[in-house]
Amino acid sequence: MEFGGFGSIIAAFLAALFVNVVIFTVWKGYKERKEQEKRKKWWKENVIYHIYPRSFQDSSGDGNGDLRGIVNRLDYFEFLGIKILYLSPIFTSPMVDNGYDVSDFKDIDPLFGNMNDFDELLKETHARGMKLMLDFVPNHTSDQHPWFLESRSSRHSPKRDWYVWLNPAAGGGPPNNWVSVFGGSAWSYDAKTGQYYLHQFCAEQPDLNLRNIEVRQALNEVLMFWLDRGVDGFRVDAVPHLVEDSKFRDEPTKSEYDPSRPQHDHLEHIFTKNLDYNHKIVQEWRALLDKYKDSYRILIGEIMADLPDVIRYYGGRNNEFDFPFNFGLLGLDDTKTAEDVYQVISEYLAALPRGKWPNWVLGNHDVPRIGSKVGPEYCRALNVLLLTLPGTAITYYGEEIGMTDAKVPLKSQKDFRDPQRSPMQWCSERHAGFSSGTKLWLPVAKNFKTVNAEAQKLDPTSMLHLYRELVRLRSAYKCFKGLGFKVVYVDTSILAYTRSEGHCKFLIVINFGHESWTGALNGISGSGIVEIDSEMKMKGTSIQFDKIALHKAQALVIQMTEKNELMKIVLN
């Protein structure tokens, strides 16, 4: 009996201990998650500014942008309130694909400067409380990379398996029907060793074999090299292509395809894109970045694919990319209506599972500029859209001043994407202030006399000031930091939505139409005060939601008063 009493004391003690351990573990997990969320804030709340380094600012006078040029322009970002810079590749490269053909992942191409310049850029950005992200190009190297030179030197090279080599097909010719993204067979023949190597882009960009553990280790060392230097994260290039079918099966032709589209679009890429193995690799990278506890390092994926394939790259347990780029808005052009914009936004948000962080992109170095596709007069409205949608906004350099594609004569084009990579338009002087050199690597767009940062800085009603106001809005009001978002009205011209959190409530109304518009937003009642007008004229004006008037391409960001109520949510 006594023993039984003692036993139950022990049992009670053990039970209490167990409960405490459970509570402690849950509490610790909760604290860690909270801590992690706090560390992630920097890229959730700030805008990411995408710099194409060769075109941003030349400091040496050789007609190419460089790292010192970026250092010299850091004040610009302070003026705008931009806190995160992402640079397209700056590594040693023969520049066949403008730096996406890397021949040394751990050095700076002389075109951009040297490692001292890089360290200074990193130090200066950090000193200003900013973050710096780089491009990571793991799918392929340059054919001049020592790894590939070694690999192609002999079938018995210790690095032969670092790339994807195959014998010719039985009757001769490439091993299978795979096609490069840039057109033509994805295989090139190496006469010396009598085999074909795989390249999903140019022939000068042989694909690494990421199934090989030594290759993955070497790539991890590349990541660590930059992370140890203090880099804040990476945009990962060409993610869908990381690994291919290990049986190298032919890809089927699509049941329907447009013969005028590039050859790559004719095939169903079931053996070369988005294989499950890719996710395992991305998880390894995420885990590697998570080892850096001093500050959160971000990983963003470039995935050109259908939405479900893109979304998978968040990872089931948020263990892959912090976000894969959302390229939905890249499809906008002058045929699109407000309803089409709504469609893109709602499809994306509907596909996004709970707990995943959204993001928005209007342009990048691979596609024509948004101002050229949609028309320059809509650039202000599009910046309002970009910076008021829920999630991280990414701006391609020059979008903040409404840059459009440069005209590059076909015969002098080095790449079909040259027009959207033209030099940043800083001022109305020679070469738009981009370079003091005589010959630029690409011409400046003709409109630089009026479309430039300096002129717009002097004009308080300019797009640059609008952009700056939008960045300020995002940091001043908590409803732009969270994800509260509801569409309250849409027709062919008008898109209206609210952003809200607690008492913080804003209504955004955008006219994507070709004419002025006056009407009632039947999803919402009451009134508010204009906080931002895309035309930079109506700030402080009181607006009744049953009678809103907007010029063509005008957008208003209206702070809702306490009395406003969403009458009914028309959409969502």
Residue 302 known to be catalytic: yes
The structure tokens 């890249």 sit at 330
Which three-class secondary structure state does DSSP give residue 510? strand
List the x/- string, 505-524, binding to ligand GLC by CB under 6 A.
--------------------
Give the x-and-dash track for 357-376 against ligand GLC (CB under 6 A): --------xx----------
Quick note: the x/- pattern for ligand GLC over 132-161, rule CB under 6 A, is -----x------------------------
Which CB atom, from 236 or from 508, has the smaller least distance to ligand GLC? 236
| Tokens of residue 333, six digits | 């052009």
Among 201, 234, 314, 426, binds ligand GLC (CB under 6 A): 201
Please identify, using beta-carbon distances, which residue of 234 and 426 lies nearer to ligand GLC. Answer: 234
Give me the least distance between CB of 55 and ligand GLC, in Å please: 13
Tally the C-alpha atoms within 13 A of residue 228's C-alpha that lie toward its C-beta: 7
Give residue number: closest CB to ligand GLC: 100
Angle at CA of residue 570, ends 566 and 572, nearest 5°: 100
Between 208 and 238, name the residue whose CB sits nearer to ligand GLC.
238
Minimum distance from residue 252 beta carbon to ligand GLC (Å): 24
The rounded Cα 250 to chain-centroid distance in angstroms is 32
What Cα–Cα distance (Å) separates residue 122 from each residue in 65, 68, 89, 164, 293? 17, 11, 15, 35, 19
418 is a site residue for ligand GLC (CB under 6 A): no
Tracing tokens 């109304």 back to the chain, one arrives at 509
Residue type, 15: A
Q: Single out the catalytic residue among 66, 109, 237, 418.
A: 237
Which string of DSSP letters, residue by residue, matches 469-496?
Answer: HHHHHHHH-GGGTS--EEEEEE-SSEEE
320 binds ligand GLC (CB under 6 A): no
Beta bridge partners of 408: none
Alpha-carbon separation of residue 222 from 275, 280, 305, 530 (angstroms) = 23, 18, 26, 49
- Minimum distance of ligand GLC from residue 484's CB (angstroms): 32
Tell me the closest approach of the beta carbon of residue 205 to ligand GLC, in angstroms: 6
- Least separation, in Å, of the C-beta of 402 and ligand GLC? 23
Q: Is 237 known to be catalytic?
A: yes
Positions 89 through 108 that interact with ligand GLC (CB under 6 A): 97, 100
Give 167-234 as a DSSP string: PPPTTSS-SS--B-TTSSBSEEEETTTTEEEE-SS-TTSPBB-TTSHHHHHHHHHHHHHHHHHT--EE
Task: Give whichever of 124 and 265 is closer to ligand GLC, judged by the CB atom.
Answer: 265
Are 523 and 566 a contacting pair, CB within 8 Å? yes
Q: For the window 210-239, what string marks contact with ligand GLC as x by the rule CB under 6 A?
A: ---------------------------xx-
Question: Does residue 491 belong to the site contacting ligand GLC (CB under 6 A)?
Answer: no
- Closer Cβ to ligand GLC, 111 or 238, answer by number: 238
Are β-strands 91-92 and 165-166 bridged in parallel, bridged antiparallel, or unpaired?
unpaired
Give the active site residues: 237, 302
Binding residues vs ligand GLC (CB under 6 A):
97, 100, 137, 201, 237-238, 302, 365-366
